[in-house]
Amino acid sequence: MSTEQPNGPSGDAAAAGADPTPIFTKMLDFIAWLTLMSRHFPRMHRATITQRLFDAVLDCQERLIEANQARGPARLVLLQHADASLDKTRIYLRLAHLLHWLSLGQYEHASKQVAEIGRLLGGWQRTTRRTVESSR
């Protein structure tokens, strides 16, 4: 399978509007896990830090979806925006750990998930960059 994400998912995933490629699956799994974990975050911070964490995560997911539909330089820009949102996610996760909202094990799990998403995103960016450069 190419790292250039396909536009047309097939099967039940297409009916649900989800793309079955690895980065989309891993991102969705991470969002689901984080949603469960955030239930234990202090209520007084749900409108601030927790909200910013989810803004970053969901922005990353949305940019990935948009990049999947785009081509050429537009795709590359969207992937760069997704990467910036992933960086923000890392910072907010670290803060959640420092504030003891996530245990060490939970933080390590989240970090591994985000690192894997980052590797997949980096590969997609490299492939897209080569495609854009070769079409010039």
The total number of structural domains that make up the chain: 1
Does the residue 20 lie in any domain? Answer: no
Query: Tens digits of per-residue pLDDT, 17-75?
Result: 444 589 999 999 999 999 999 999 999 998 899 999 999 999 999 999 999 999 999 99
Given a contact cutoff of 8 angstroms between Cβ atoms, the answer to whether 60 and 54 are in contact is no
Does the residue 38 lie in any domain? Answer: no
Rounded to the nearest 10°, the torsion over CA 51, 39, 64, 117 is 120
pTM to 2 decimal places: 0.83
Residue 102, domain extent = 48-136
Does the residue 130 lie in any domain? Answer: yes
